[in-house]
Chains A and B, each alone.
Chain A
Amino acid sequence: MIDIKQYIESGVIEEYVLGKLSEQERAEVECLSTTYPEISKEVEESLISLTLFAEIGATDPKPELKEKIWESILIETKPENIIKLQQSEGTANTSAEKSNIMNYAVAAVLAIIAIGSSYWAFQTNSQLSKAEMEIAELNTANKNIVSDFTTLKDIINKNNSIYELPKAQVIKLEGVAEKSPESMAFAVWDKESGNVYLDVKKLPKNPDGKQYQLWTISDKGQPISVGVFDQSGQKEIINLGRAETSIMFAVTLEKAGGVESPTMSEMYISGKVKS
């Protein structure tokens, strides 16, 4: 369990406010401040102190500096970069046009194949008697139901077996109010093997190019990635990786493949580990 008082007294918050921390350490402070009001209060107060310092020492620069700085801003931010950007957009358009032509060609070939095979199916089907067709359809439907049922039963059994692991601790991850209040999942942490399983109950589908990432916050307050996953609506519990120690689990939406430290504004669900 993290000692909040000791954490605050370590001075890490002051260093955070002064922008002196590494990306990882910064993420750690932000992560903890979403969970512990004492930490977020300390961050707020340190920001006030910093502003206070600036106010106490405020000194007017010489008046002509205002115009000089404005001119230098206009020169320094000349739209050279913007022109480069437009050029690259132009290139992208040309290749997009090319790929459109390819798409049309592929679509045309597919259409021809589809028409051909439909015709063949029609010919074959018409040779079967109505009864034979019905039996075939019923058989297929039956097989599908059995297969679905077996899969579902397997999933339920597998899911239950995870929850029933002798050293498993279940942590409820609730939706972050500003991001996705409806979302919910259970993290099952097998303290014997260290494996962390995620049983997602509700979470929006991840957009293309993005994946969800599960984090454990270690007992030292450090966010460590457990693994990434897609939210495709499947009901199966997924094993994402291992966690040695944990005071909290959280899920953020990141670029596909995951990132080194969590993006706090993209946190969807989180839950404290009861010790």
Chain B
Amino acid sequence: MPKPHDLGGKPHFDPIVLKTTLPVDWELTIDGISSLLRKKGFYLTDELRRYIEKIDPEQYLNMTYYGRWCTAITNILIEKQLIAEDDIQKQLDLL
């Protein structure tokens, strides 16, 4: 069963949307977090890729690029026991 990320040659015939938008604040934040955590040695690029590829196929196709990053980074940090799901929930409750 091919994984959702392995897209080459797949019949996704939506037109290319030529207009691009500049990343908004939360996208800049997760983009920065991703590079920073890698630079600090918390994970390797291919580890992050593996966690992106583990995202449920349907979810993968319906998530934006930075949405996938947020999901994968959260999962990798939880699995490495650097953070716990409760920690994030606590912070979310404070927002």
Same assembly: no
Question: A residues engaging B (CB < 8 A)?
Answer: none
